Amino acid sequence: MLSPSGRRNQEVLSTAKKGEKIELVCEGEPVGSIETDEVFGINKEERLSQIGVILEERDYIVTRIGEYAISGKVKIKSDLEIYKQKILEKKQKLQAKRITGVVFHANPIHRVHEKILREEFNDSDLIVIFLLHYHKEDFFNFEIRKKSLDLVLNNFLSKERICVIPLDATYLFSGSNKIILYSLIAKNYGCTKILLGQKTQGLSVYYDHSIRHTIFDSLRGIDIEVKILDEYAYCTKCRCLLNTRTCPHGHHHHISYSTQSILHFFKMGIIPPTVLVRREVSALILEYLFPQRLELMKQIYYQTLPTFGVFSENIQEDFYLRLIDLYRIRN
């Protein structure tokens, strides 16, 4: 069932006849078709309730739901089979039996993401990262998030044991539906396990006699192992990144990896501490966000920063990398 909004969509649906083939278009490109079986009016409030929309998302999702819905046989042109084949080839090459799926925003990718992947390598033969693709991007678009993720995978992790699959962040990923759909998608791509953060929306975590319970306690029919990830922090006493449940020190010793806080560094044009984000990732992102800084950078780069007689072709990226080195020098 589809219930698209928009004046043109409503005009098409209101006149559609049974058996009529209607072309599906996304961002100006034909992506498939639907053979009309039935067109009917839709109650938006009931639809929102069925989706399980939370209050924070309600206003946006209402704008995505039209007055009419259409049901019928759908044919989609997608890269789904290409991505499935990509996973199958890696699975065969690695003789992978244990395949873990994880959904990443990577907004941006930081040290905790790396920690999660490294630890999961101990229990998995292959990791499938579903990288969310938003139609309405917030601060970083999909391209820069994907580029940052690739930088880390290509240079600091066992990339041959990882597959990255773009995943459209549809408004159906709302409330408890999000968890259910994530799990079904991972299962359909061949994963035997899925990782979910304990703060993932819709997981409905609660504790009873120190035992953690989630929505999966009452779900049936989703045949996939679920691993709930604890919170991670950098402890200034332990001097390492760790699972907070294993740390004896209080929260006042912990450096948090709040995505919003890390984003604020970039919004202010400040390179985040390397304990939060790799300097290579920060350099890539700041170069993307502030291309107009180049002329000012050149003055500092050539006149102040040590270059050892070698100048980079990419001054903007090299500038941030050398700046981090400069901050480490103590007088």
In a domain, 108, yes or no: yes
Does residue 12 sit in the same domain as residue 48? Answer: yes
Name the residue with higher pLDDT: 207 or 266. 266
Does residue 106 sit in the same domain as residue 217? Answer: yes
What does the pLDDT read at residue 61? 76
Contact 105, 133 (CB under 8 A): no
Query: Pick from 25, 59, 76: which residue ends a domain?
Result: 76
Alpha carbon distance 200, 172 (integer Å): 15
Q: Which residue range is the domain that position 18 belongs to?
A: 2-76
Query: Pick from 177, 206, 229: which residue ends a domain?
Result: 229
In a domain, 240, yes or no: no
Alpha carbon distance 127, 117 (integer Å): 8
Q: How confident is the model at residue 132 (pLDDT cuts 50, 70, 90)?
A: very high
325: helix, coil or strand? helix
In a domain, 150, yes or no: yes
What does the pLDDT read at residue 217? 78
Average pLDDT over residues 46-69: 74
Does residue 222 sit in the same domain as residue 125? Answer: yes
% of the chain beyond a pLDDT of 90: 52
Alpha carbon distance 4, 65 (integer Å): 5
In a domain, 239, yes or no: no
Does residue 153 sit in the same domain as residue 222? Answer: yes
CATH of residue 142: 3.40.50.620
What does the pLDDT read at residue 307? 66
What does the pLDDT read at residue 310? 59
Does residue 46 sit in the same domain as residue 90? Answer: no
Does residue 91 sit in the same domain as residue 71? Answer: no
Query: Pick from 48, 76, 104: which residue ends a domain?
Result: 76
What does the pLDDT read at residue 188? 92
Alpha carbon distance 179, 201 (integer Å): 8
**Is the model's pLDDT at 113 over the cut of 90?**
yes
Does residue 92 sit in the same domain as residue 212? Answer: yes
142: helix, coil or strand? helix
CATH of residue 29: 3.10.400.10
Q: How confident is the model at residue 108 (pLDDT cuts 50, 70, 90)?
A: very high
Q: Residue 160's closest CA among 204, 203, 136, 127?
A: 127
What does the pLDDT read at residue 54? 62
Contact 193, 99 (CB under 8 A): yes
In a domain, 243, yes or no: no
- On average, the pLDDT of the chain sits at 88
In a domain, 298, yes or no: yes
Alpha carbon distance 288, 236 (integer Å): 32
Does residue 180 sit in the same domain as residue 290? Answer: no
Does residue 129 sit in the same domain as residue 45? Answer: no
pTM score, two decimals?
0.84
Does residue 120 sit in the same domain as residue 196? Answer: yes
Does residue 272 sit in the same domain as residue 284? Answer: yes
Number of domain units in the chain: 3
Among 110-114, 128-132, 201-205, 213-217, name the one with the lowest average pLDDT. 201-205
133-184 per-position pLDDT tens digit:
987 777 889 999 999 999 999 999 999 999 999 998 877 777 777 888 899 9
**Is the model's pLDDT at 236 over the cut of 70?**
yes
Does residue 65 sit in the same domain as residue 89? Answer: no
Average pLDDT over residues 268-276: 93
Structure tokens at 132: 């969310």
In a domain, 237, yes or no: no
Alpha carbon distance 231, 254 (integer Å): 11
Structure tokens at 82: 């290409």
238-263 per-position pLDDT tens digit:
999 999 999 999 899 999 999 999 99
Q: How confident is the model at residue 56 (pLDDT cuts 50, 70, 90)?
A: low
In a domain, 248, yes or no: no
Contact 294, 273 (CB under 8 A): no
